Amino acid sequence: MTTVKDLPREDYFLSGHTACPGCGGAMVVREVMKVLGPNTVVYMPASCLLIFSDMYPYNAFKVPSLQILFETSAIAAAGVKRALKRLGKDDTTVVAFAGDGGTADIGMQALSGAAERNEDILYVCYDNEAYMNTGIQRSGTTPFGAWTTTTPLGSTSEGQGKNEFKKDVPRILMAHDVPYVATASLGFPADFLKKVDKAKAKKGFRYLHVLAPCPVGWRAESDSTVDLAKLAVETGIFTLLEYEDGVLTLNREPRFTPVREYLKLQGRFKHLSEGQIASIERWVKDKWERDRALAKALGPKPKVPVAIVR
Ligand SMILES: Cc1ncc(C[n+]2csc(CCOP(=O)(O)OP(=O)(O)O)c2C)c(N)n1
Ligand SMILES: [Mg+2]
* Integer Cα distance of 264 and 135 in angstroms: 22
4: confidence class by pLDDT, cuts 50, 70, 90:
confident
Domain 24-297, CATH homologous superfamily name and number: Thiamin diphosphate (ThDP)-binding fold, Pyr/PP domains (3.40.50.970)
Confidence of residue 157 (pLDDT cuts 50, 70, 90): low
Q: What DSSP string runs through 234-289?
A: HTTSS--EEEETTEEEE--------HHHHHTT-GGGTT--HHHHHHHHHHHHHHHH
Q: Where are the beta strands (DSSP E) in 55-141?
A: 65-68, 93-99, 122-127
Average pLDDT of every residue of the chain:
95
| C-alpha–C-alpha distance, residues 54 and 61, integer Å | 8
Q: Determine if residue 218 is left, alpha or beta; phi over 0 gives left, psi from -120 to 50 gives alpha, anything else beta.
A: alpha
Percent of the chain with pLDDT over 90: 88
> Among residues of the chain, what percentage have pLDDT more than 70?
95
Supply the residue whose CA is at minimum distance from atom 22 of ligand 1: 134
Ligand 1 shell residues, CB under 6 Å: 25, 46-49, 70-71, 99-102, 128, 131-134, 139
Pick from 3-7, 9-13, 240-244, 272-276: least confident: 3-7
Rounded to the nearest whole angstrom, what is the distance from the C-alpha of residue 141 to the centroid of ligand 1? Answer: 14
Separation of CA 88 and ligand 2 centre (Å):
35
Q: How far is the CA of 150 from the centre of ligand 1 (A)?
A: 14
Residue 46: pLDDT over 90 = yes
DSSP-assigned states of every residue in 12-71: SB-TT--PPTT-HHHHHHHHHHHHH-SSEEEEEESSHHHHHH--TT---BSS-EEEE-TT
What's the pLDDT at 49?
98
Strands 180-185 and 241-244: antiparallel
Cα-to-centroid distance, 101 and ligand 1 (Å): 6
Nearest CA to ligand 1 atom 8: 46
Distance CA 304, CA 287 (A): 31
Q: Is the pLDDT of residue 205 over 70?
A: yes
Cβ atoms of 4 and 190 closer than 8 Å: yes
Task: Find out whether 162 and 151 touch, Cβ atoms under 8 Å.
Answer: yes
Measuring from atom 11 of ligand 1, which residue has the nearest CA?
Answer: 131
Q: How many residues does the chain have?
A: 310
**How many whole angstroms separate alpha carbon 158 and alpha carbon 163?**
7
Whether the Cβ atoms of residue 25 and residue 126 lie closer than 8 Å to each other: yes
Q: Best substitution site from 134, 209, 216 to test ligand 1's pocket, by max atoms within 8 Å of Cβ?
A: 134
Tell me which residues have their CB within 5 A of the ion that is ligand 2.
99-100, 128, 132
**Separation of 167 CA from ligand 2 center, angstroms?**
13
Evaluate if residue 159 carries a pLDDT over 70. Answer: no
Sign, CA torsion 85/88/201/29? negative
Query: Residue 303, Cα to own-chain centre: how many angstroms?
Result: 33
Give CA–CA dist 32/21, Å, rounded: 19
- Ligand 1 centre to CA of 123 (Å) is 17
CB 230 within 8 A of CB 254: no
The sign of the dihedral angle between the CA atoms of 54, 168, 266, 226 is negative
pLDDT tens track for 227-285: 999 999 999 999 999 999 999 999 999 999 999 999 999 999 999 999 999 999 999 99
Q: Which atom of ligand 1 is nearest to the CA of 127?
A: 16
Which numbered atom of ligand 1 lies nearest the CA of 131? 13
Answer yes or no: are the C-beta atoms of 193 and 30 closer than 8 Å.
no
